[in-house]
Amino acid sequence: MIVVDLIIAILIVRYLRKTLQTAVLLPAWDKILTGVFFISIGLLAADIFFGRRVLFLQWGGHAVLLFLLYILYSKKEFKPARSYMIAIFPYVLVRLTVDILKTFFNSFYNTLNNYADAAILFAVIWLIAMLVINKKQQKALAKEQEKRKQEEEQNKITVLIKEQLEVQVAERTAELTKQKEELQNTLHELQSTQSLLIQSEKMASLGELTAGIAHEIQNPLNFVNNFSEVNTELIAEMKDEIEKGNFEEVKALANDIADNEQKINHHGKRADAIVKGMLQHSRSSSGQKEPTNISALADEYLRLAYHGLRAKDKSFNAAMKTDYDQTIGTVNVLPQDIGRVILNLITNAFYSVQQKKTLRQAQGDNSYEPTVAVSTKKTGDKVQIKVADNGNGIPQSVLDKIFQPFFTTKPTGQGTGLGLSLSYDIIKAHSGELKVENKEGEGAAFIIILPA
């Protein structure tokens, strides 16, 4: 039996050295284990040569196994290999007990002989089974470790890829940020261009107005000059009559002078209003709504537009029909903005009737009477301003495009295509509506509806 004890001891030492890699990890213990290994070999050799004759050999085997049990149980360095302890423990215990009984209580041992053999057999089976299970577990563990290693490898690769991706993402982000900034710059440029365009559209319509304004200022100025000249004459006459003592005549003259003064004042104010209107038109909107007489505003711009157009094309003429609702009173609007819309609509109307007249005349037809009608009306809580013409109307094909920015039917350079688009925006900003009634060939009417 001693041979089995020693072989087990040798195998266990081998296993321990191998599985715990003591040569590298636990050099001090490795020396001890190596010592145990050679002692076991020595004992084994001694047993083979001397057999049962040397008693201590038997106890030597026990000592080696007990020592192994002891270090497996108590040293934390061997904790991972504790399954060997469980494997050999029953064997060592049974063998030691049997040998002790055999040696010291031989008679008692003899009665239990069969049981002892069974116990040893059981311990051996236990040991083999445990070793097999151990082996299997170790294999599974090794597999697990291999797997973990692979996973770690995988993780390392993943981390590497992730880092690369992060670099790429950072690059892309930088690129996108740059593009975003460029776009923002472009947007700013577009916005400033747009406000420039709006300003130039204002200026263009002001240009159209200049001739009309000149005419409109010239007329009241003529009246102011003429009436003040008349008054000078009348005053001279009045002095004569005072000399003569003809006070009836003096009274009549004084009345005339007073009337004329009123006329002078009226026409002076008219010129003043026109200049103010012109200044307002060119100025950027103050953003302040003020109570405005819509009918007066419409009429002012009708006259300005008419004379403006006349100044450009002397052959042109059109009848103007006006119908103003005097019950409207005032409406809170931005006067220069609404004025621009009205001006734009009226200018368009005049343009349309002018086109039709030219066309008809080319065909030898002189019967067409170009007419532009401007009217205001209050209905419920709404005020409407209507600008109608009897021109050719809007072709059905472009009707849905007329409010689009830059859409124009005029030849290049004659229209910005912003007029109706801006008008639409202005009316929307007043919570109003800009509608169009159109009969192709017969005329168009634009209707501004504002909350009163």
Judge whether 221 and 271 are in contact, CB under 8 Å: yes
Checking phi first, is residue 206 left (phi over 0); if not, alpha (psi -120 to 50) or beta?
alpha
Does the CA dihedral 117-121-122-127 come out positive or negative? positive
218 touching another protein, by CB under 8 A: yes
Longest dimension (CA), the chain: 186
**Of 69 and 372, which has the nearer Cβ to another protein?**
372
393: left (phi over 0), alpha (psi -120 to 50) or beta: left
User: Could you say whether residue 11 binds another protein (CB under 8 A)?
Assistant: no
* Closest distance to another protein from the beta carbon of 300 (Å): 15
Distance CA 359, CA 365 (A): 9
Contact region for another protein (CB under 8 A) — 63-71, 239-247, 317-325, 404-412?
Answer: 317-325
- The pair of three-digit structure tokens given for residue 24, joined into one six-digit string: 């590298």
Cα torsion 8, 9, 12, 14: sign: negative
> Does the protein bind another protein through residue 236 (CB under 8 A)?
no
Taking CB under 8 A as the criterion, the residue among 102, 263, 289, 382 binding another protein is 263
For residues 334 and 430, is the Cβ–Cβ distance under 8 A?
Answer: yes
| Residues 263, 255: Cα–Cα separation, whole Å | 13
Closer to another protein by CB, 173 or 361: give it: 361
User: Which CB, 230 or 452, lies closer to another protein?
Assistant: 230
260 binds another protein (CB under 8 A): yes
C-alpha 380 chain-centroid distance: 43
Of 102, 289, 310, 378, the one binding another protein by CB under 8 A = 310
Residue 317 interacts with another protein (CB under 8 A)? yes
Report whether 375 contacts 424 (CB < 8 A): no
Tokens representing 248? 């009836």
Q: How far is the CB of 230 from another protein (least distance, A)?
A: 5
Q: How far is the CB of 398 from another protein (least distance, A)?
A: 29
Please pick, from the candidates 199, 225, 265, 286, the single residue that binds another protein as defined by CB under 8 A: 225
40-48, 114-122, 137-145, 217-225 -> range binding another protein (CB under 8 A): 217-225
Binding mask 318-337 for another protein (x = CB under 8 A): xxx-----------------
Contacts 24+ apart (CB under 8 A), 271-274: 271/216, 271/217, 271/220, 271/221, 271/224, 273/300, 274/213, 274/216, 274/217, 274/220, 274/300, 274/304
Q: Does 215 bind another protein (CB under 8 A)?
A: yes
The residue from 153, 229, 272, 365 that contacts another protein (CB under 8 A) is 229
Which listed range, 91-99, 280-288, 315-323, 415-423, lies at the site for another protein (CB under 8 A)? 315-323
CB of 255: closest distance to another protein in angstroms?
Answer: 12
Residue number with CB closer to another protein (225 or 358): 225
Count of residues touching another protein (by CB under 8 A):
25
Report helix, strand or coil for 362: helix
Q: Considering the complex, state which of residue 229 and residue 272 has its C-beta at the smaller distance from another protein.
A: 229
| Nearer to another protein (CB atom), residue 118 or residue 319 | 319
Alpha-carbon gap, residue 210 to 274, rounded angstroms = 11
Q: Is the dihedral of CA 299, 305, 310, 315 positive or negative?
A: negative
Residue 444 near another protein by CB under 8 A: no
Q: What is the C-alpha separation between 38 and 43, in angstroms, rounded?
A: 8
* Residues 289-308 interacting with another protein (rule: CB under 8 A): 306-307
Nearer to another protein, 119 or 373 (CB): 373
Q: Which is nearer to another protein, 218 or 282 (CB)?
A: 218
Instruction: Give the footprint of another protein on this chain (CB under 8 A).
Output: 215, 218-219, 221-223, 225-227, 229-230, 234, 256, 259-260, 263, 267, 306-307, 310, 314, 317-320
